[in-house]
């Protein structure tokens, strides 16, 4: 650290220089991210609440109400009539909290998750001293119910289902998973970190995928993905209030004497901006965004198919296709920022910044690349 402070101008110069090396969603080159530019209003609200610390919620009771209300709105969007939970830093923290609660509730050590479940479950199990058993998916990349059932036993604390898998966007059969967990007294956690702001609209938009997470004991939904809320903002929901108590820690010297999150001091700006955007957009606003993302996804799907490249039919706004490593390399050189599945397929998340124009430019480059 320097002895003497600099002028704001001088510091800004450094910051702007650093920011030049960052990519921006609005430039349309980022095709592999599950985040996008937050809503302009969310940025305003976020800066309004910078002081607010929900780790000491007794001092910020207004923000605490906004947190509770956002959780209720997120739960309502999922079609749930239970809304106990927390606004957290994202999907990872939500998944860790859910498995932490499941472990303490059941006193068991084994977690069964489909191979498509996000790597945050490895983090969670590592931290919590749990054993994770990864189970095969079927041809449609959905958790194999037969395999999940075969693994479920009296040592199992949690089964994980995913509603909108990170790599393929597929949705596990939550009802079937719920039947298994009820039979064995296992906690069912559903990870809808991405899907939670997409799936609730698909039926009404004319797509066949149904979504009903009511059979879950806990659910992850991330407003900082398709919810347009700035990072960091996740949400974990629990069916029974008593399950949250499984992760309770006493906070003797604070204004609220109990905490139910991993982080202690935590920003209230996330909860306030989630509240603001949920209220501002309403179901209608989100549905319009999802409609466009889904239409663009199918436009891209059609374009890739027409190039003769095998591509999986999308469930939500995530596409994976087998382009080969050379294609990935060339497209990256052309400036596209793609991601890959664990199997090496090229994976595209059709976020709102991935517009029809961006898709058309991408398809032209893909066509050129596939001729090489
Ligand atoms: N769950 C799913 C399905 C995800 O796709 C992701 C991130 O991509 C996560 C959990 C982890 O979320 P975060 O990166 O917000 O911790």
Could you tell me if 225 and 194 are in contact, meaning their C-beta atoms sit under 8 angstroms apart?
Answer: yes
What is the band of 323 on the pLDDT scale with cuts at 50, 70, 90? confident
Give percent above pLDDT 90 in the chain. 98
92 lines ligand 1 (CB under 6 A): yes
* DSSP-assigned states of every residue in 222-240: -TTTTT-PPSS-EEEEESS
Pocket flag, ligand 1, residue 193 (CB < 6 Å): yes
Cα 199–201–205 angle (5° rounding)? 120
Cβ atoms of 236 and 219 closer than 8 Å: yes
Closest residue (by CA) to atom 5 of ligand 1? 166
Query: 222 CB under 6 A from ligand 1?
Result: yes
Q: At what angle do helices 356-371 and 269-306 cross, to 10 degrees?
A: 40
Model confidence over 260-304: pLDDT tens digits?
999 999 999 999 999 999 999 999 999 999 999 999 999 999 999
Mean pLDDT of the residues in the chain: 97
Nearest residue (by CA) to ligand 1, atom 13, is 91
Q: 3-state class of 98 per DSSP?
A: helix
Q: Is 167 in the pocket of ligand 1 (CB under 6 A)?
A: no
Which atom in ligand 1 lies closest to the alpha carbon of residue 162?
3
Q: Is the CB of 172 under 6 A from ligand 1?
A: no
Q: How far is the CA of 251 from the centre of ligand 1 (A)?
A: 28
Mean pLDDT of 343-364: 97
pLDDT for 137-189, tens place per residue?
999 999 999 999 999 999 999 999 999 999 999 999 999 999 999 999 999 99
Q: 0.85 exceeded by the pTM?
A: yes
pLDDT digits (tens, 9 = 90+) for 324-340: 778 999 999 999 999 99
Q: What is the mean pLDDT of residues 191-219?
A: 97
- Note the pLDDT of residue 164: 98
Could you tell me if the CB of 194 is within 6 A of ligand 1?
yes
Ligand 1 atom closest to Cα of 164?
3
Structure confidence by residue, pLDDT tens digits, 73-99: 999 999 999 999 999 999 999 999 999
Q: Report which ligand 1 atom has the smallest distance to the Cα of 195.
A: 3
CA of 89 to the centre of ligand 1 (A): 11
Q: Is residue 134 predicted with pLDDT exceeding 90?
A: yes
- Rounded to whole angstroms, the Cα distance separating 372 from 369 reads 5
Q: Give per-residue burial for 97-121: e unless 16+ CB within 10 Å, then b.
A: bbbbbbbebbebebbbbbebbbebb
């Amino acid at each position: 650290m320097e002895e003497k402070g600099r002028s704001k101008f001088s510091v800004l110069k450094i910051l702007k220089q650093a920011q030049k090396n960052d990519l921006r969603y609005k430039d349309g080159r980022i095709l592999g991210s599950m985040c996008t530019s937050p809503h302009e209003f969310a940025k305003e609200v976020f800066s309004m609440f910078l002081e607010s610390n929900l780790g000491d919620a007794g001092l910020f009771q207004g923000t605490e109400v906004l947190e509770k209300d956002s959780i209720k709105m997120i739960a309502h969007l999922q079609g749930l009539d239970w809304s106990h939970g927390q606004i957290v830093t994202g999907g990872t923290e939500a998944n860790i909290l859910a498995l932490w609660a499941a472990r303490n509730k059941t006193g068991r050590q084994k977690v069964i998750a489909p191979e498509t479940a996000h790597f945050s479950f490895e983090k969670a199990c590592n931290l919590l001293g749990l054993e994770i058993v990864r189970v095969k998916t079927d041809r449609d990349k959905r958790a194999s119910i037969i395999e999940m059932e075969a693994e479920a036993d009296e040592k199992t604390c949690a089964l994980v289902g995913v509603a909108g898998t990170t790599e393929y966007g597929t949705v596990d059969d939550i009802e079937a998973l719920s039947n298994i967990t009820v039979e064995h007294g296992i906690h069912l956690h559903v990870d809808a970190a991405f899907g939670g702001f997409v799936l609730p609209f698909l039926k009404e938009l004319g797509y066949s995928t149904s979504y009903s997470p009511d059979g879950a004991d806990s659910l992850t939904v991330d407003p900082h993905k398709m919810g347009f809320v700035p990072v960091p903002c996740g949400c974990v929901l629990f069916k029974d209030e008593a399950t949250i108590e499984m992760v309770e820690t006493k906070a003797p010297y604070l204004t609220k004497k109990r905490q139910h999150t991993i982080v202690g001091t935590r920003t209230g700006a996330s909860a306030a901006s989630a509240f603001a955007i949920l209220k501002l957009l309403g179901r209608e606003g989100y549905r319009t965004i999802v409609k466009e993302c889904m239409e663009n996804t199918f436009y891209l799907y059609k374009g890739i198919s027409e190039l003769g490249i095998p591509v999986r039919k999308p469930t939500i706004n995530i596409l994976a296709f087998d382009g080969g490593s050379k294609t990935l390399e060339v497209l990256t050189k052309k400036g596209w920022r793609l991601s890959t599945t664990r199997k090496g397929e090229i994976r595209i998340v059709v976020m709102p910044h991935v517009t029809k124009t961006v898709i058309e430019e991408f398809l032209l480059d893909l066509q050129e690349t596939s001729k090489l």
